[in-house]
Chain A
């Protein structure tokens, strides 16, 4: 089986071949980018929140503002929640990873030095028990000491707590190559309040992942109480349903004049990624349709060629070609056409990605995806030519002797 006859045969069908190559190239460019976006979205969905997602229940209680006395204080609420059977620990936080609501601030690496500011940093604040409740894993340093939880209202411009915990990735970007423990970041106007980093956690994901805020650009401060915060309960994953019901009941028992909402943290994460999931399904559908259409094209074309060459096939068979030689011929021809198309498509994919990057928030195509699209189309081409090629191989040698 040598290529030259395959190539020279194609010279008689320049236009058709060019059209098929163009179609394969376009399909390849689109499929590669679609697969890339799917992969990118999936990798976002697999981000480690840094929390024991499955062990957490989140409870919010909002005051009805009907002028009754505020019987439901945070301390009594917490005590009641901790008393629920199955709750191993509880804490109050301002927000949680992937919960969308957040407060972003600027921090300074050097006080007064405007060039050292880092904007759009998400600030987490939490009350005692936060490390154990959330299941945050320290990479280095220590957790908060009880005396470090101080009164702090971030909306009032108060002096913040003097210590903080940051995620590893953020520490590395703030102080590249240095040990972050003991480093200071500065908050407030002009960076007047120093805050010392005492611990680094493996992961603590942002409340929202977007280009402005990044994915792990945040710090965690220890506070005594959080106005308008949410309660986080740690429990055995199997007991979450019961704990959710019990938590609602416990808080309403303390003060019935309020709205209580309790849900599993995994539901919050699910909801956060809802749009991403629909994008993935849409892209999968488009890729499937594209591949189907390309396959249709290949099947149609090869069937035509097989039909057109019936006599030639008969002659080849008559002079000694075996069935699998004929089969091989059509597969080789198909591979040649599709791989040229796929190569052009790979180049097109890079161009398409560059154009998309310019107009939409899309990262650069990692080159590893280029072979994915190309190989996908080549395999598809081989599969679609299977039927026509098989029919070709069944052409009996006697056809050669029949006049047309």
Chain B
């Protein structure tokens, strides 16, 4: 039966080629625009570290004084140096790392005149294991290296290639300003998107090319950069380790729900003990977010992208209403033909189904047009120098979703016009001929 309907539909589409193509174009435009934006949204809200994200948590503490924004009840999103060091030492998670972002000046062996600056991440040893950073050569450093402020470094393949060649870099020296570090590892491509572990760098920032032990980098006064929130008196020439500021990111791995509950309690207990010693002024005010929760908490998806998606969906709506009006016209125009079919014994249901099949065919054509448009749209998105652009690709899910969405949309739009066309009395329809 369906085959017969599709045959009829095909014939009808061919009999009014111009109108059919126009309708497919209209559906295709709406679907193409919506799918482009939905793909961008899909990419931007993707899980940056699917294999580990469920067990990664951000603890929050509130070491701020009572003055200033006392009404600001959310604990800061970053951590102060003393708190980060205490939490690291007490080691209550499965793995944990404190980190900060930095800017370093790389002096290549060819001399200072070829110096260039590079993004750096200062982190403690668990960073690499906890975040599943893939090593091509060598490995990360150890907790002992952190403690001893060892001058070691991990670099990415791109920098290694530039300096020594990726396979020869381990064991060589990396000169950053006046300091030299021994390269212990070279990592492969690793750039989780969004840049979840330090959202202040821009949620779609690139990963750093140089990794240094946090304690070493801060002790050697490597250029630190990033967002900081301070309270009380603070002087920029002061040692960051004593500053009344939060400026470090802190992540912890917790494998079981029981560990999560225990860790939250630990944060409360820790805050209480800090208040007893007089370091904290506020009552315990803690937070513990898992990775995806943290992204939501920080609203990482830009408002502009949400608005563009909304715009695309609004556009799709217009296209659908347009399709509905055109389908109505199209079906009513064929009332004579439909009247004949009804008079020959076709039920209302089968005429209805025939009309929906025609709409589905139109939708399929529209979907193909939409796919071409979405492909072109995403190509244009990728040409933009925005950070998330490179990730905007049409994957298989989105490909199938596009065609399905187009067919479903066209069929939905056809329900009302088809129903109307079925209401015509066969006798009246024949008389109109």
* A299 surroundings in chain B (CB, below 8 A): 22
Determine whether the beta carbon of A65 is less than 8 Å from that of B112.
Answer: no
Closest 3 CB pairs of A and B: A65-B177, A155-B236, A19-B325
* B332 surroundings in chain A (CB, below 8 A): 16
Question: Which segment of B113-121, B134-142, B156-164, B203-211 sits at the interface?
Answer: B113-121
B304: CB under 8 A from chain A? yes
A27: CB under 8 A from chain B? yes
B392 to chain A: closest CB distance in Å? 13
Specify which of B29, B116, B321 is in contact with A292 (CB 8 Å cutoff).
B29
Question: Which segment of A120-128, A159-167, A274-282, A367-375 sits at the interface?
Answer: A274-282
Determine whether the beta carbon of A296 is less than 8 Å from that of B329.
Answer: no
What are 17 inter-chain pairs, A to B, with CB distance below 8 A?
A16-B325, A16-B329, A16-B332, A23-B318, A26-B314, A64-B107, A64-B177, A66-B107, A66-B178, A256-B112, A259-B105, A283-B311, A286-B312, A296-B26, A297-B26, A360-B303, A361-B303
A234 to chain B: closest CB distance in Å? 28
* A282 surroundings in chain B (CB, below 8 A): 308
* B315 surroundings in chain A (CB, below 8 A): 30, 286, 289-290, 293
How far does the alpha carbon of A289 sit from the alpha carbon of B233 in the complex, in Å? 56
B267: CB under 8 A from chain A? no
How far does the alpha carbon of A256 sit from the alpha carbon of B107 in the complex, in Å? 13
How far does the alpha carbon of A293 sit from the alpha carbon of B236 in the complex, in Å? 58
How far does the alpha carbon of A157 sit from the alpha carbon of B33 in the complex, in Å? 53
Determine whether the beta carbon of B235 is less than 8 Å from that of A296.
Answer: no
Determine whether the beta carbon of B105 is less than 8 Å from that of A300.
Answer: no
Determine whether the beta carbon of A30 is less than 8 Å from that of B318.
Answer: yes
B403: CB under 8 A from chain A? no
- How would residues 291 to 323 of chain B score, 1 for a CB under 8 Å from any chain A CB and 0 otherwise? 000000000000110111001101101110110
A300 to chain B: closest CB distance in Å? 5
Determine whether the beta carbon of A20 is less than 8 Å from that of B386.
Answer: no
Which chain A residues numbered 383 to 402 have a C-beta less than 8 Å away from chain B?
A: none
A152 to chain B: closest CB distance in Å? 14
A116: CB under 8 A from chain B? no
- How would residues 11 to 32 of chain A score, 1 for a CB under 8 Å from any chain B CB and 0 otherwise? 0000110011011001100100
Determine whether the beta carbon of A293 is less than 8 Å from that of B319.
Answer: yes
A387 to chain B: closest CB distance in Å? 12
Determine whether the beta carbon of B318 is less than 8 Å from that of A293.
Answer: yes
Determine whether the beta carbon of A259 is less than 8 Å from that of B117.
Answer: yes
B250 to chain A: closest CB distance in Å? 26
A286-B321 contact in complex given A64-B115, A274-B385, A404-B433, C-beta closer than 8 Å = no
* A290 surroundings in chain B (CB, below 8 A): 315, 318
B172: CB under 8 A from chain A? no
A103 to chain B: closest CB distance in Å? 11
Identify the closest chain B residue to A362 (Cβ): B307
Determine whether the beta carbon of A30 is less than 8 Å from that of B113.
Answer: no
A156: CB under 8 A from chain B? yes
Name the prevailing secondary structure of the A interface residues.
helix
A294: CB under 8 A from chain B? yes
B74: CB under 8 A from chain A? no
Specify which of A156, A252, A294, A308 is in contact with B322 (CB 8 Å cutoff).
A294
How far does the alpha carbon of A256 sit from the alpha carbon of B111 in the complex, in Å? 10
Determine whether the beta carbon of B385 is less than 8 Å from that of A19.
Answer: no
Specify which of B107, B303, B328 is in contact with A15 (CB 8 Å cutoff).
B328
* A65 surroundings in chain B (CB, below 8 A): 105, 177-178, 223
A257-B178 contact in complex given A65-B105, A293-B318, C-beta closer than 8 Å = no
17 extra interchain contacts, Cβ-Cβ under 8 A, other than A66-B105, A304-B329? A16-B328, A20-B325, A23-B318, A26-B321, A65-B177, A66-B107, A157-B235, A259-B115, A274-B385, A278-B386, A289-B315, A292-B29, A293-B29, A296-B22, A297-B326, A300-B326, A301-B325
A123 to chain B: closest CB distance in Å? 14
A239: CB under 8 A from chain B? no
Specify which of B319, B324, B384 is in contact with A19 (CB 8 Å cutoff).
B324
* A347 surroundings in chain B (CB, below 8 A): none
Specify which of A27, A67, A155, A279 is in contact with B318 (CB 8 Å cutoff).
A27
A294-B325 contact in complex given A256-B113, A304-B333, C-beta closer than 8 Å = no
A64-B26 contact in complex given A19-B328, A23-B318, A289-B33, C-beta closer than 8 Å = no
B51: CB under 8 A from chain A? no
How far does the alpha carbon of A112 sit from the alpha carbon of B324 in the complex, in Å? 66
Identify the closest chain A residue to B323 (Cβ): A297
A62: CB under 8 A from chain B? yes
* B61 surroundings in chain A (CB, below 8 A): none
A277 to chain B: closest CB distance in Å? 10
Determine whether the beta carbon of A278 is less than 8 Å from that of B384.
Answer: yes
* B325 surroundings in chain A (CB, below 8 A): 16, 19-20, 23, 297, 300-301
A30-B311 contact in complex given A19-B324, A301-B326, C-beta closer than 8 Å = yes
* A27 surroundings in chain B (CB, below 8 A): 318
Specify which of B23, B233, B315 lies most central, judged by the most chain A CB atoms within 10 Å of its CB.
B315
- How would residues 311 to 354 of chain B score, 1 for a CB under 8 Å from any chain A CB and 0 otherwise? 11011011101101110111011000000000000000000000
A356: CB under 8 A from chain B? yes
Which chain A residues numbered 254 to 298 have a C-beta less than 8 Å away from chain B?
A: 256-259, 274-275, 278-279, 282-283, 286, 289-290, 292-294, 296-297
B420: CB under 8 A from chain A? yes
Determine whether the beta carbon of A360 is less than 8 Å from that of B33.
Answer: no
* B23 surroundings in chain A (CB, below 8 A): 296, 300
Identify the closest chain B residue to A278 (Cβ): B384
* A294 surroundings in chain B (CB, below 8 A): 318, 322
Identify the closest chain A residue to B307 (Cβ): A360
